[in-house]
Amino acid sequence: MTCNGRIVIQKGVPLPEAALANLKASVKGEVVIKGEADEVIYRAAIDRWNKAGIQEAGIVVFVDSEQDVVACLKFVQEYDMDVTIASGRHSYYKASSTKGGLVIDLGRMRKVSIDKKSMKITAQGGCKVVDLETPLQKQGLSAVFGTINDTGGSGYLTGQHGLIIDNLLAAKVVTADGSVLEASHEQNPDLFWGIRGGGSNFGVVTEFTYRTHNQGKVFFGPLVFTPDKNHRFLQLVEPMRQATEASNGKLAVFVSFTKVLGMPSVHPVCIIFYDGTEEEARQITAPLFELGPAKAMAVMRDYAECTAPTPMSEGPPTHQHYSASNSPLNLPVDTALLEEMIAALDRMFEKYGDVVTASRLFFELRSYAKSANIDPSATALRARAPAVLLAMEGRHDGSIPSKIRTEVQAIIEIARSKQKGRFINANIGDGSEKVADMFGGNYESLRQLKKKYDPGFVFNKWYPIPPAGDCSVQSIESE
């Protein structure tokens, strides 16, 4: 934290001026210090996609290289400062923020190289998805990322090719003691196992190498239905889910229940993605078209176009506070449960009106076969059971955050109380879930790995795994 313009590292003890001068001298990247930097530059340095995730860091270092990362890690440990890593700054909560500590921001390390012959792409740790998808598209290739080209580890191609971690071939990791390690099946395989699902628990990843895939045009776009179609739409959810499996993962239907301007109550918007011809796509999704969408904007496009941000994915500029939570949705999909949740969402809109504009309940219908067929102990990610991801995203104006948080939790609790399985999807988690539940049967092995690579618990923001031994962590702060 800062006190009278000084960075306080421990109970009133300020960081020596000389230490800051040494830090600046030891890194090539830009160092932004609270109280010293221009206010506009400082605010931009701590900005986050979710405004509720902003915290006032003491120092932000825009690192330039592995050596800069090493210097930052030495610095924070010497002065006992809190530290976090930021890259796309797209966390749903405060995983890449720190109150008073140091942020290692990789946002300027965005170099990419494609090796078409061996179907690989190597990207620096600060890359956004768009940095990879744009050059891949030009070569007729794609790789597995999220549905928005800012971020993400599972998306439209997951049904066919698995999760991003299942397509990761190698990584370069700077661990807490400043070692720069290669991680792959051949080198430091235990670390490679840990980073595939264990997030930022083991170090700063400065480089990723992913497998790429040949990619043609796809059928893609939203269908918007009016609220009078809610019930009949829900009857199509389970058949459509089965169609995603029958398509060998080529079809994905991502559904949101929301209230777009002009609609009297909550209604469905679904995005169709089909990796094949328009004729096949229309045939397989015919029941959705026959239901009579008020708007249908699905056409053949380049793959990279599908992940470009839209007004719906971004939300209105006045409503950039997000409170998200999720639950698995067991199969076959329980439509009565979804009806109950939609009614609760309607009540939330009635109660809070404009404050919660563009909030939504969403679920992803895609083939789960590819990701579920991998043994849950093969990577740190335990949550591989074939259960649909169901998430509640409260988008609000920031005026009454705790009330919206209560609503979001109450709506998602309707599902959690009725579903089997404790596993949580960390990507759309709220940070408050129990860490042991996140990792299930892999938890004890992860604690041993943490003891090996981060015994001092330096990396403790994203679902922090306590090193094996006495220390234990139940949950982390959420909003």
Ligand X SMILES: Cc1cc2nc3c(=O)[nH]c(=O)nc-3n(C[C@H](O)[C@H](O)[C@H](O)COP(=O)(O)OP(=O)(O)OC[C@H]3O[C@@H](n4cnc5c(N)ncnc54)[C@H](O)[C@@H]3O)c2cc1C
Based on CB atoms, which residue is closest to ligand X, 230 or 370? 370
Among 60, 462, 464, 478, binds ligand X (CB under 6 A): 462
Asked if residue 91 binds ligand X (CB under 6 A), the reply is yes
Among residues 230 and 307, whose Cβ is nearest to ligand X?
A: 307
Q: Decide if residue 92 touches ligand X (CB under 6 A).
A: yes
Of 153 and 440, nearer to ligand X (C-beta) is 153
In sequence order, the 6+-apart residues with CB closer than 8 A to the CB of 242 are none
Smallest gap, in angstroms, from Cβ of residue 232 to ligand X?
Answer: 27
Residue 198 in contact with ligand X, rule: CB under 6 A: no
Binding window for ligand X (CB under 6 A); candidates: 151-159, 296-304, 328-336, 338-346: 151-159
| Binding segment (CB under 6 A) for ligand X, from list 37-45, 85-93, 132-140, 285-293 | 85-93
Footprint of ligand X on 310-349 (CB under 6 A): 313
Q: How far is the CB of 86 from ligand X (least distance, A)?
A: 4
> Which region, judged by CB under 6 A, interacts with ligand X, from 5-13, 23-31, 81-89, 443-451?
81-89
User: 3-state secondary structure string, the chain?
Assistant: CEECCEEEEECCEECCHHHHHHHHHHCCCEEEECCCCCHHHHHHHHCCCCHHHCCCCCEEEECCCHHHHHHHHHHHHHCCCCEEEECCCCCCCCCCCCCCCEEEECCCCCCEEEECCCCEEEEECCCCHHHHHHHHHHCCEECCCCCCCCCCCCCCCHHHHCCHHHCEEEEEEECCCCCEEEEECCCCHHHHHHHCCCHHHCCEEEEEEEECEECCCEEEEEEECCHHHHHHHHHCHHHHHHHHHHCCCCEEEEEEEECCCCCCCCEEEEEEEECCCHHHHHHHCHHHHHCCCCEECCEEECHHHHCCCCHHHHCCCCCCEEEEEEEEECCCCCHHHHHHHHHHHHHHHHHHHHHHCCCEEEEEEECCHHHHCCCCCCCCCCCCCCCEEEEEEEEECCCCHHHHHHHHHHHHHHHHCCCCCCCCCHHHCCCCCCHHHHHHHHHHHHHHHHHHHCCCCCCCCCCCCCCCCCCCCCCCCCC
Q: Is 98 in the site for ligand X (CB under 6 A)?
A: no
| Residue 147 in the binding site for ligand X (CB under 6 A) | yes
Q: How far apart are the first and last CA of the chain?
A: 19
Contact residue for ligand X among 87, 142, 160, 460 (CB under 6 A): 87
Count of residues in contact with ligand X, rule CB under 6 A: 30
162 near ligand X, judged by CB under 6 A: no
Question: Is there binding between residue 153 and ligand X (CB under 6 A)?
Answer: yes
Nearer to ligand X, 19 or 170 (CB): 170
Cβ closer to ligand X: 87 or 142? Answer: 87
- Residue among 57, 85, 243, 358 that touches ligand X (CB under 6 A): 85
Binding ligand X (rule: CB under 6 A), the pick from 89, 250, 259, 396 is: 89
Among 151, 330, 419, 460, binds ligand X (CB under 6 A): 151
Residue number with CB closer to ligand X (233 or 462)? 462
Is residue 132 a contact point for ligand X (CB under 6 A)? no
Nearer to ligand X, 349 or 462 (CB): 462
96 binds ligand X (CB under 6 A): yes
Q: Which of 75, 153, 163, 104 is nearest to 373 (CA)?
A: 163
Which residue has the closest beta carbon to ligand X?
A: 88
Residues in 419-448 that interact with ligand X by CB under 6 A: 427
Nearer to ligand X, 190 or 290 (CB): 190
Binding site for ligand X (CB under 6 A): 49, 84-92, 95-96, 106, 125, 146-148, 151-155, 199-200, 204-205, 313, 427, 461-462
